[in-house]
Amino acid sequence: MLGVFDIVGPIMIGPSSSHTAGAVRIGKYANLV
């Protein structure tokens, strides 16, 4: 799990648009886990 957050973390730091997409991706990854 830490690896996933480590990879998604930097993406969230991106632009606001990317931040929103990152939040959605986290939900999908969390659902898969």
How do residues 1-33 score in pLDDT, each as one tens digit? 556 656 666 555 555 555 566 667 767 766 666
Instruction: Write down the pLDDT at residue 31.
Output: 66
Provide the whole-model pTM: 0.29
Instruction: Write down the pLDDT at residue 33.
Output: 63
Full residue range of the structural domain in which residue 13 is found: 2-32
Here the tokens at position 10 are 């930097």
Instruction: Write down the pLDDT at residue 29.
Output: 66
How far apart are the C-alpha atoms of 20 and 16, rounded to whole Å? 6
How far apart are the C-alpha atoms of 18 and 1, rounded to whole Å? 21
Instruction: Write down the pLDDT at residue 32.
Output: 63
Instruction: Write down the pLDDT at residue 12.
Output: 54
